[in-house]
Chains A and B, each alone.
Chain A
Amino acid sequence: MSAENKQVISREGSTDIHAQTAGSKAVKYILITLSVVFLFVMLVMPLITVIYEAFRKGLVPYLEAVSDPDTISALLLTLEATVIAVVINTVFGLFAAWAISKFRFHGKKLLVTLIDLPVTVSPIIAGLIFVLTFGRQSAIYPFLESIDFMVVYAVPGIILATVFVTFPFISREILPVLEAQGTDEEEAAALMGTKGFTIFRRITLPHIKWALLYGIVLCAARAMGEFGAVSVLSGHLRGKTVTLPLQVEILFGDNKFMPAFAVSSILVVLAIVILIVRSIVEYIGKRRGEK
């Protein structure tokens, strides 16, 4: 999944020649058909279902559903959480990747595993740990209460959960590139007395910018769609702590199926836009990488 690896993708021409020699036509078409059918049934059909259900009652009810004030406020909250998560994770990703790739220290493997951990932690547990840390059970709750700062069942909790589930996304993308690049150029620059930030801007950043962009796109995609962790922390206060995925759940529970799918369709469109952006980023990055 790393962009670095794709930058060094083999030239299409040579692989194709190779494909002709190595695989018979029949195998090729069987495998392609298998792939297309698999992706169609598993990925495309669910999308079609969403769009079909969303427009089943026509355009006007659809527009009414997506312009509902609660839906709008959910959209805004989702965007807010996504932007903050991307900013925090970008800062983190850059510093962490720099620290891990440019220096040697003990416990590096543990550090990397800890950073990756949020990906495999169940969203429910992700929500639970923040409830335990900042909720009424927690030792710091009286302090938070005294400064009137609500974390759990309020917007900060939702942001925390979103940052948590997307935590490693950007560092994971940058790290392999930085590691492959090695430290020679930076060392040379440092020996010539260049300042740290200048080294980063002039030498490191050009190498990682496509990986960084790719990580940001993935991070944004995942941040927008987080459901489990946010669900535990939200309290479902309508119009206040409800994100788009939660709004889908609420509408579903309200027996408003058409609106639920209509709101889902916003998320589907956002997902597709992000994927297109991702493909463009990857494509340009690949071409730049080859030159």
Chain B
Amino acid sequence: MKNNKRIIPGFGISMGVTLALLSIMVVIPLASLVVFTAKMDFSDIIKVITRPRVVASFEVTLLTAFIASVINAVMGVILAWVLVRYNFPGKRILDGMIELPFALPTAVAGISLTSLYADSGWIGGIFAQMGIKIAYTRIGITIALIFIGIPFVVRTVQPVLEKLDPLYEEAAGILGASRTRTFRKVILPELRPAIFTGFGLAFGRCLGEYGSVVFIAGNQPYETEITPLIIMSELQEYDYSSATAIALVMLAAAFLILFLVNLIQIRNSKILKGGH
């Protein structure tokens, strides 16, 4: 905090506005959650968050969010690759579609995914004949989460791939490396931070997703009950303390994931800057 670094004017006002808005919108409301939880005994908090149903919901949420994010990581790299490296008709439409899950309200997504993947739906019907139920199972939750998480990995990997110098690959190719080997040894290491960032963001978003999941989940305790739903039902039972205690755990998870992502992103931006 040396004055000589403040040649550019506007530190006071910009910092003031930033901190004021950040406090009103984020810090104070989040602090009220912490304050509210702090009214409980620590042992009570532990008791609440270790209730078997709550633990089961953590498990369901983590598992489905993880699988969905892994699938999105794989598909995200493929999509980014296709969008960056190939030219084909309709590419721009494909590219423009990626953000659809952002723009489409989660409730609408939930309702239409449910009617699509229920046993009577177009896609669900096909799987139902094979004896696979999608809606109202964990597969259904995973599908909704895949939908939600699509943009994250694509949009973090895409710019890195665009900046990646093809020279390395060509060199590797000339030196006789097979294409899979080139991808594994040359491209993947460069993409890794971006993939992890995208994965982390998608994972964080999936952990908290509510709107699209409730419609398709079936909401059975121990089976298909996600943590946000537990919070919602605690709220509906007037049990504010339990709801906030569970919410705090999720909040901590979100904060942790973000912090890790930001750490990776710093490495990532170094790679971006190093590109040509």
User: With A43-B147, A115-B22 as given contacts, are A19 and B85 in contact (CB-CB < 8 Å)?
Assistant: yes
Q: Which applies to chain B's interface (DSSP): helix, strand, loop or mixed?
A: helix
B169 / chain A contacts, CB cutoff of 8 Å: 18, 22
Interface residues of B in 86-108 (CB under 8 A from A): 86-88, 90, 92, 94-108
- Assembled-state Cα–Cα distance A252/B110 (Å): 12
A49 touches B96 (CB 8 A): no
B96's contact among A102, A190, A279, by CB below 8 Å, is which? A279
Q: What is the CB-to-nearest-CB distance from A96 to chain B, in angstroms, rounded to a whole number?
A: 4
Chain A residue with the shortest CB-CB distance to B24 = A160
In the complex, chain B residues whose CB is within 8 Å of the CB of A221: 99, 102-103
Report whether B257 and A117 are in contact in the complex, using a CB–CB cutoff of 8 Å: no
The 8 A CB mask of B56-95 against A (1 = contact, 0 = none) is 0000000000000000000100110111111110101011
B248 to chain A: closest residue by CB: A125
Q: Flag A7-30 by CB within 8 Å of B: 1 or 0 each.
A: 011101011101101111001100
CB-CB contacts of B34-55 with A at 8 A, as 1s and 0s?
0010000000000000000000
Q: Do residues B254 and A104 form an inter-chain contact, with CB atoms below 8 A?
A: no
From known contacts A92-B18, A95-B13, A96-B14, infer whether A128 and B111 are also in contact, taking CB-CB under 8 Å.
no
Any A CB within 8 A of the CB of B139: no
Stretch at the interface among A57-65, A106-114, A205-213: A106-114
- Is A42 touching B150 in the complex (CB atoms < 8 A)? yes
CA distance A249 to B262 in the complex (A): 36
Quick check: B166 and A160 within 8 Å, CB to CB?
A: no
Q: Which residue of A lies closest to B13 (CB)?
A: A95
Identify whether the interface residues of A are mostly helix, strand, loop, or mixed: helix
CB-based nearest B residue for A249: B107
Q: Which A residues lie within 8 Å of B132 (CB)?
A: none
B86→A114 contact, CB < 8 A = no
A45 at the interface (CB under 8 A from B): yes
- With A50-B108, A163-B25, A225-B105 known as contacts, the answer to whether A103 contacts B258 (CB < 8 A) is no
Q: Which of A114, A176, A248 contacts B107 (CB 8 A)?
A: A248
* A5 within 8 Å of B (CB atoms): yes
Please indicate the chain A residues that have their CB under 8 angstroms from the CB of B220 in the complex. Answer: none
- Check B269 for interface membership: any CB of A closer than 8 A: yes
Minimum CB–CB distance for B181 against chain A, Å: 12
In the complex, whether A150 has a CB less than 8 A from a CB of chain B is: no
Specify which of B15, B30, B94, B112 is in contact with A46 (CB 8 Å cutoff): B112
B267 to chain A, nearest CB (A): 13
B39–chain A nearest beta-carbon distance, Å: 11
Complex: how many Å from CA A105 to CA B6? 10
**Interface flags, A228-255, vs B, CB<8A=1, else 0:** 1001100000000000111011001000
User: Once the chains bind, are A121 and B244 in contact (CB under 8 Å)?
Assistant: no
Q: Does B159 contact A (CB under 8 A)?
A: yes
B21 touches A10 (CB 8 A): no
Across the interface, do A167 and B151 meet the contact criterion of CB distance under 8 Å? no
Are B104 and A31 in contact, with the CB atoms below 8 A? no
A31 lies within 8 A of B8 (CB) = no
Contacts of B98 in A (CB 8 A): 39
Residues on the B chain within 8 Å of A224, using CB: 103, 105
- Complex contacts, B239 vs chain A, CB 8 Å: none
Query: In the bound complex, what is the Cα–Cα distance between A24 and B88 (angstroms)?
Result: 15
Contact call B231/A124, Cβ cutoff below 8 A = yes
8 A Cβ contacts from A243-291 to B: 244-246, 248-249, 252, 260-261, 264, 267-268, 270-272, 274-276, 278-279
The one of A42, A117, A199, A279 that contacts B8, using a Cβ cutoff of 8 Å: A199
Report A150-193 residues with CB < 8 Å from chain B CB.
160, 163-164, 167, 176, 179-180, 183, 186-187, 190-191
Contact of A228 among B78, B211, B240 (CB under 8 A): B211
Q: Is A200 an interface residue (CB 8 A)?
A: yes
B184 an interface residue at 8 Å Cβ cutoff?
no
Q: For A8, give the chain B residue with the smallest CB separation.
A: B163
What's the minimum C-beta distance from B89 to chain A, rounded to whole angstroms? 10
Do the beta carbons of A120 and B159 come within 8 Å of each other? no
With both chains docked as a complex, state the minimum distance between the C-beta of B227 and any C-beta of chain A, in angstroms: 8
Q: Quick check: B108 and A248 within 8 Å, CB to CB? A: yes
Name the contact of A275 in the complex, choosing from B10, B99, B107 (C-beta under 8 A): B99
- Distance A53 CA – B227 CA, assembled complex (angstroms): 31
Residues of A within 8 A of B160 (CB): 5
Question: Apart from A32-B88, A96-B14, what are 6 other A-B pairs with CB-CB below 8 Å?
Answer: A50-B111, A111-B18, A111-B22, A122-B254, A160-B25, A224-B105
What are 9 A-B pairs at a CB distance below 8 A? A5-B158, A31-B86, A46-B112, A114-B26, A122-B254, A125-B208, A128-B235, A129-B33, A179-B269
Chain A residues engaging chain B, CB cutoff 8 angstroms:
1-2, 5-6, 8-10, 12, 14-16, 18-19, 21-24, 27-28, 31-32, 34-36, 38-39, 41-47, 49-50, 53, 88, 91-92, 95-96, 98-100, 102-106, 109, 111-125, 128-130, 132-133, 137-138, 160, 163-164, 167, 176, 179-180, 183, 186-187, 190-191, 195-196, 199-200, 218, 221-222, 224-228, 231-232, 244-246, 248-249, 252, 260-261, 264, 267-268, 270-272, 274-276, 278-279
Please provide the 10 A-B residue pairs with the shortest distance between their CB atoms, ordered closest to farther: A122-B208, A5-B159, A225-B105, A120-B204, A1-B155, A271-B103, A196-B9, A227-B211, A221-B103, A129-B29
